[in-house]
Amino acid sequence: MSLSLLAGAAALLVHVGEAAAHRPYGLSGKWKLVFSDEFDTPLEPYKWTRCYWWDNNGCTNLGNSELQWYVPNNVLVSDGTLVLRAKRQSVPGHKGRIYDYTSGMVTSGRNYEERGKPDRFATTYGYFEIRAKVPAGKGLWSAFWLLPSTHESKPEIDVMEVLGHAPKTLEMHTHYRDDDGESQNPGSEAIVPDMSKDFHVFAVDWRPDVIIWYFDGQEKWRYSVKEHISHEPMYVLLNLAVGGEWPGDPEASTSFPADFLIDYIRIWKRLDDG
Question: If you ran DSSP here, which 8-state letter would residue 8 be given?
Answer: H
Instruction: Decide if 262 contacts 131 (C-beta within 8 A).
Output: yes
- 145 Cβ contact partners less than 8 Å away, ≥ 6 residues apart: 156, 157, 158, 159, 161, 236, 237
Report the SS3 class of residue 221.
strand
Q: How far apart are CA 50 and CA 70, in angstroms?
A: 8
Selecting among 18, 161, 189, 227, the annotated active-site residue is 161
Of 56, 232, 45, nearest in space to 120 by CA = 45
CA distance 206 to 212: 7
The single residue of 66, 129, 156, 171 carrying the catalytic annotation is 156
Q: Is 156 a catalytic residue?
A: yes
- Indicate if 219 belongs to the active site: no
**Positions marked catalytic:** 156, 161
